[in-house]
Amino acid sequence: MTLKEVELKHNLGNGRLTYWLRERGFDVLKTRIVSLPDMKSVKINKDERDSQKSITELEKELQEVKLLAEAYRRMIEIAEKEFKINIVKKSNTK
C-alpha cells in the first residue's frame, strides 16, 4: 500500500501520514520497498562502459595501424635491397 492509499483509507489529511512518520524519525523519501539505483549513477555507469568500449576499440585500431606501418617499412626495406634503389627520402633534401 502506498502512503496515499493509507491516507485515503483512514481519512487522513494530505501529508498527515508522512508528517507523523517523519515526527517519529522515519525518513519516507529514503526508505523504499524496491531499491532502485539513481539515474545519475546509471548514466555514469553507462558512460564508463561506453568509454571502456571506445578505449578497447581504439587500442585495437592502434595495434592494426602499428602492424600496417611495420609491413610498409619491411616492404620498403626489401624493395631497396632487391632493386637497389633508394625509396626512403633523405631528411636534408627539399
pLDDT tens column, 23-81: 877 766 665 555 555 666 667 777 888 888 889 999 999 999 999 999 999 998 998 89
Containing structural domain, residue 16: 1-35
Q: What is the pTM of this model?
A: 0.44
One domain, residues 42 and 54: yes
The domain total for the chain is 2
Q: How far is CA 82 from CA 10, 53, 68, 78, in A?
A: 97, 44, 21, 6
CA torsion angle 62 52 50 40 (round to 10): -150
CA dist., res. 5 & res. 17, Å (int): 11
